[in-house]
A and B are shown apart, each in its own frame.
Chain A
Amino acid sequence: MPRLLRELWRRPAGLVGSVVVVVLLVTAAVALFWTPQNPFTANPSIAWQGPSFAHLFGTDAIGSDIFSYLMAGSKTTVVVAALSALVAGLIGIALTALGSLTSHWVREPVAVLIDILIAFPILLIAMLLSAVFGGSLTVVIVSVGIGFGVNLARVARGEVRGVLGTDYVLAARASGAGPWRILIRHVLPNVAPVFIVQLSLAAAVAILAEAGLSFLGYGAPSSTASWGRLLSSLQRYITVHPWSVLWPGLTITITVLGLNLLGDALREATDPRLKESRGEKTRRAEWRRDRRRARAEVVR
């Protein structure tokens, strides 16, 4: 594990992604107990104030503190992102297993089912569900979970079938490896990067979807702080107070970007083929040393 972290932090994308995610998690944890102001207190006398020490990001139309509201909203974001990725992971793993490891008569129909499900966009699922059950965070989580789970299964299924057809799986079978050993030692490590990228994407899309659905009024109820809801309420005044809308917009953008970067970096860090080989590193070090020496010679 420490090895993986070292690989991860060696990459700028991994470092930036980790920092963003850690900041998000810490903020959400702190917001559980404390925010600088109560994010739901209305105080019209101080509406539309600019950034100050008391109100870091200023205040909105009813005089609520934007910074505190964003902090409180981070809790929603973390819960939605984590649960969406979890649901997507469970659905994805189940469909992948059914679509790739079972007998011909099961896996081919499952492949068709995946292709049918993939035709439904996440937003459509979310609007269908919220039309029936009313808008809530559960609707967001379930719809992103289903949407990305199916997506994940489509990609991973092909990947698993591909790995099962490789020479090294044949060679492992020729050495007497049973189906479980092949699954754990050969298939999972080779497919894990796909899962990692897709799940980090699912988390990023979940954040966007929550913001988007809350923006449209299908997501978080008004008693729950949500970045999308804030963005939606502030954008009405964008021509009058353009800077205030910047804060939720930037927050959402940076968080989603961070998750995407982290996913990419994790994929690279788990694949030894993308690592610099040790031989190459020493060769490069030697080349640098030789060049330094040559330069020193010239100076003398």
Chain B
Amino acid sequence: MTLTVTDLTIDIDGRTVVDRLSFTVADGARFGIIGESGSGKSLTALAVLGLLPDAATASGSIRLTVDGGVEIELLGLPDRELAHIRGSAIGMVFQEPRTALNPLRRVGRQIGEPLRIHDGLSKHEANARAIELAHEVLLPDPERLLRRYPHELSGGQRQRVAIAMAIACSPSLLIADEPTTALDVTIQAEILELFDELVDTTGASLIFVTHDLAVLAEVATDVVVLSHGRAVESGPVAEVMRAPQHPVTRSLIAAARATSWSPGASR
């Protein structure tokens, strides 16, 4: 599976928020999109799934090449056909686990939903599979936990539920939009570790969107740095961190150092 984004431009009410952005996510790659808030990184992620808000218009090209060499142009694809790709070929995890789950549905049902949509599983089969998925994302005591409602779970548990939902149909591309931003630091580390493991075991490609370079360095190998909707720098994470070319990259590195500073550590 390869994702090629070429000259992606997104306008909202005549304002250009993403400007001629191009990048390629190779098969099995771990790709990071980093930028300050308002740099257009989340909109880029949403554009891949065709989930941009009504007011936004996108141009350019987003090509998905699935195994077997079939190429699909995602941009401008009718919603009905996009729905077949969402959740099955591409899974997505959102930033805020508190609001990303329906408060009135048991979490087990929500994990099973993509399976019922794409794989046509029965309620019973989907539930059995949801329990397996809950084991995979390391939720404690899945049989009982899946019968609970979202408000009865902690933030970290909810994010694990959201991840289980995203990987339910074994997508070949996983998009994570700031999945750790709303969590506290210890939980953040656990979730990052989980992403690391999942991508390793499933062989899926990963697009990880964040504003935190320290977080990005944990999971991604390649990165594109966005500023005001433009790509200002790209390349392997290690290289970008060692020799940042653009002032925005430098300030992101400085911010990452400042937050991961601990007494006694050499600066």
Contacts and interface: CB of A to CB of B under 8 A. Distances in A.
Contact of A176 (B94, B100, B102, B117): B117
B102 to A, nearest CB: 4
A177 B113 contact: yes
A177 B79 CA distance: 11
Contacts of B168: 175
Given A190-B103, A190-B104, 15 more contacts: A104-B54, A167-B100, A168-B101, A168-B102, A168-B103, A172-B113, A174-B49, A175-B113, A175-B114, A175-B166, A177-B83, A177-B87, A178-B83, A185-B102, A189-B102
Contacts of B92: 171, 174
Interface string A257-300: 00000000000000111000111000000000000000000000
Contacts of A279: 152
B94 A170 contact: yes
A168 B100 contact: yes
B117 A175 contact: yes
Contact of B100 (A104, A171, A277, A278): A171
A186 interface: yes
11 contacts: A168-B102, A170-B94, A171-B101, A173-B51, A175-B86, A175-B117, A177-B113, A178-B83, A181-B117, A190-B103, A190-B104
Top 3 A-B residue pairs of the complex, sorted by shortest distance between their CB atoms? A176-B87, A175-B87, A175-B114
A166 interface: yes
B117 A177 contact: yes
Contacts, number: 84
A174 B87 contact: yes
Interface residues of A, number: 24
A118 B88 CA distance: 45
A175 to B, nearest CB: 4
Given A176-B83, A273-B149, A279-B152, A167 B117 contact: no
Interface string B97-111: 001111111000000
A189 B86 contact: no
A181 B88 CA distance: 16
A178 B87 CA distance: 12
Most buried by B among A173, A175, A279: A175
Interface of B: 49, 51, 54, 80, 83-88, 91-92, 94, 96, 99-105, 113-114, 117-118, 148-149, 151-152, 162, 165-166, 168
Contacts of A271: 104
A168 B105 CA distance: 11
B168 to A, nearest CB: 8
Nearest to B54: A104
Given A167-B96, A174-B51, A178-B80, A186 B87 contact: no
Contacts of B101: 168, 171
A189 B88 contact: no
Contacts of B148: 278
Interface string A187-202: 0011000000000000
Nearest to B49: A174
Nearest to A272: B149
A124 B114 CA distance: 51
B56 to A, nearest CB: 14
Contacts of A166: 99
B99 A176 contact: no
A167 B151 contact: no
Contact of B86 (A167, A173, A272): A173
A167 B49 contact: no
B102 A272 contact: no
Nearest to B103: A273
Contacts of B152: 277-279
Given A167-B94, A171-B100, A273-B151, A176 B51 contact: no
In this complex, the member of A173, A176, A186 whose beta carbon has the largest number of chain B beta carbons within 10 angstroms is: A176
Given A189-B105, A271-B104, A171 B149 contact: no
Nearest to A275: B149
Nearest to B88: A176
A174 B51 CA distance: 8
A49 B103 CA distance: 58
Interface-centre pick from A174, A178, A181, A190 (highest chain B CB count, 10 A): A174
A190 B118 CA distance: 24
A238 to B, nearest CB: 49
A279 B88 CA distance: 35
